[in-house]
Amino acid sequence: MKSPHRKIQTRSNLLTPDGFDREVVERWVRRWTRARIDLDRLEFHSWDGAADEGFLQQRRARLMKFARALQRELLFFENWDGTVRG
């Protein structure tokens, strides 16, 4: 059984980039945050430079920009371990 998904609370409306499922991205961001990995410092490098040109590179950039914004919002309302800031 899947665990219940807790939406990431935001101070403003963040639009999900086209082609991505917000729930999946939020789960991904929570997993990286629990592991204390700062997405602002994380860079992804392509294993196959030729296959990663153009569309895929732009798609990855949109995903990471959105994920970084979600993590900033998550850390505004919660600690790294998921407990509510008080």
pLDDT digits (tens, 9 = 90+) for 55-78: 888 898 999 999 999 999 999 999
What pLDDT, on the 0 to 100 scale, is given for residue 42?
82
Rounded to two decimals, the pTM is 0.84
CA separation for the pair 83, 86 (Å, rounded):
9
* Domain positions in the chain: 22-77
CA separation for the pair 47, 42 (Å, rounded):
16
Structure-token match 């790294």, residue found: 80
CA separation for the pair 8, 6 (Å, rounded):
6
Residue-wise pLDDT for 15-57, tens only, equals: 999 999 999 999 999 999 999 999 999 876 656 555 557 788 8
What pLDDT, on the 0 to 100 scale, is given for residue 47?
61
What pLDDT, on the 0 to 100 scale, is given for residue 50?
58
